[in-house]
Amino acid sequence: MSDPRLPAAYLMPGSSSFSDFLAVQAPDLLPSRRAVPSGNAGDLAPHGTTIVAATFPGGVVMAGDRRATMGNIIAQRDIEKVFPADEYSVVGIAGTAGLAVEMVRLFQTELEHYEKIEGTTLSMDGKANRLAALIRANLGMAMQGLSVVPLFAGYDLNTDQGRIFSYDVTGGRYEETSFHSVGSGSLFARGSLKKVYREDLSAEGCVTAVLQALYDAADDDSATGGPDLTRRIFPVVHVITADGGYRVADAEVADIADRMLAARMQRPDGPAAALI
């Protein structure tokens, strides 16, 4: 910013994509443009783990545990891995924490930039595709162990329903029905949700279901953190409805988690589903 006058490129009509503008003006700021020496760098940085999302009539819920690991070490106990992307969508990230957080910031700016320049928000599919493009650009880093795998959810104002998208490291974008999970504990979380999830859950019921799933993931996966009762650290939960998104207050999450834990005192494996 040494020249006080706005650079000519800023005044040029053109793309309403912030990442495209960044790629031309300041490519060093793009998370995926870094040259990493060959070899596996995956053990150098903390990894975030399990993210769970589920829909309910009138909205969608996403929750993430609070643990980041580096090999066998717990790198952080209260990391946040679920972020609002804009007013009607939320993104949760599993994988290399540093890159993931930067990618979320880029994605948030991307959506806001488009909204301000065009005067209208991107469609739900448009947002999901933009995120896919960012992930795809990161493929080189992913092959060196620095992968980022997001889970994207939001309320689609055109179809009036909550929607969930999952991704792979190559930028593949897959729409999921009802619920999905990513990260190291995702297998257990998904298995748990299969038994607990019902399509007619209320918003609070849906929050309870994803908390149950995160508990089950933490039960069997060492990299997923369970509720930390002594420090009162509970998962980050976001709810999105037609009125927009909000983070569920910590006290509210703590309340649901306490009730869930009280029930697990009687039955450690959680609620039982009917046999048939």
Partner 1 sequence: MSTPFYVSPEQLMKDRADFARKGIARGRSVVAIQYADGILFVSENPSQALHKVSEIYDRIAFAAVGRYNEFENLRIAGVRLADMRGYAYDRRDVTGRGLANAYAQTLGTIFSSGGEKPYEVEIFVAEVGDTPADDQLYRLTYDGQVADEHGFAVMGGAADTVATHLKEHYVEGSTLEDALHVAVAALGHTDAGDRVIPVDDLEVAILDRTRTQPRKFVRLRETRLVEILGDRGPEQPDVPQGDDTAGATPPSAPVTDDPGDPTDQVSGGVPPLENPMSGEPTEHHVPPPTAPPTAPPTAPPTDPPVAPPPAPQPPIPDPSQPPAPGTPPGDPGNPLP
Instruction: Tell me whether residue 37 or residue 119 sits nearer to partner 1 (CB atom).
Output: 119
For residues 154 and 162, the answer to whether their CB atoms sit within 8 Å is yes
Contact (CB, 8 A) for 137 and 82: no
Residue 239 interacts with partner 1 (CB under 8 A): yes or no: no
Rule CB under 8 A: say whether 22 interacts with partner 1: yes
Residues from 81 through 100 that contact partner 1 (CB under 8 A) = 87
Q: Which residue in 27, 29, 170, 175 binds partner 1 (CB under 8 A)?
A: 29
CB of 170 to partner 1, least distance (A): 25
Contacts of 259 (CB under 8 A, 6+ apart): none
Length of the chain: 276
Given the structure tokens 């545990």, which residue do they identify? Answer: 65
- Annotated catalytic residue within 49, 50, 55, 69: 49
Cβ contacts of 53 within 8 Å, gap of 6 or more:
60, 61, 62, 63, 92, 151, 153, 164, 176, 179, 180, 181, 210
Contacting partner 1 within 108-137 (CB under 8 A): 109, 112-113, 116-117, 119
With binding defined as CB under 8 A, does residue 157 bind partner 1? Answer: no
CA 211, 214, 215: angle at the middle one, nearest 5? Answer: 85
Nearer CB in complex with partner 1: 18/155? 18
Residues annotated catalytic, as ranges: 49
Residues that bind partner 1 (CB under 8 A): 1, 4-6, 10-11, 13, 18, 21-22, 25-26, 29, 87, 105-106, 109, 112-113, 116-117, 119
